[in-house]
Structure 1
Amino acid sequence: MFRRTFWFTAGAAAGVWATTKVNRKLRQLTPESLAAQAANKAIDAGHRLKEFALDVRDGMAQREAELGEVLGLNGHPDPELPTQRRIRAIGGGQPGDNKQIKYIDNTTYSYNRNEDH
Structure 2
Amino acid sequence: MFRRSFWFSTGVAAGVWATTKVNRKLRQLTPESLAVTAANKALETGHRIKDRAVGFALDVRDNMAQREAELGDALGINASVDAQLPPPRRLAAIENHHSPKYVDGSAYPTNSNNRNEDH
TM range, smaller chain = 0.5 to 0.7
Q: How does 1:1-117 map to 2 (within 5 A)?
A: 1-72=1-72, 75=78
Greater relative contact order (CA < 8 Å, ≥ 6 in sequence): 1
Identify unmatched segments of 5+ residues in structure 1: 81-117
Bigger fraction of residues in strand: 1
Cα RMSD of the aligned pairs, angstroms, is 2.6
Quote how far apart the aligned CAs of 1:69 are: 2.3
The unaligned stretches of length 5 or more in structure 2 are 87-119
Structure-2-length-normalised TM-score: 0.60
| Deviation by residue 1:70-113 (Cα, 9 ceiling, x = unmatched) | 2226837x899xxxxxxxxxxxxxxxxxxxxxxxxxxxxxxxxx
Structure with the greater alpha carbon radius of gyration: 2
Matched residues, number:
81
Runs in 1 of length 4+ with deviation above 4 angstroms?
none
Counterpart AA for 1:53: A
Identical residues among aligned pairs (%): 56
Aligned twin of 1:106: none
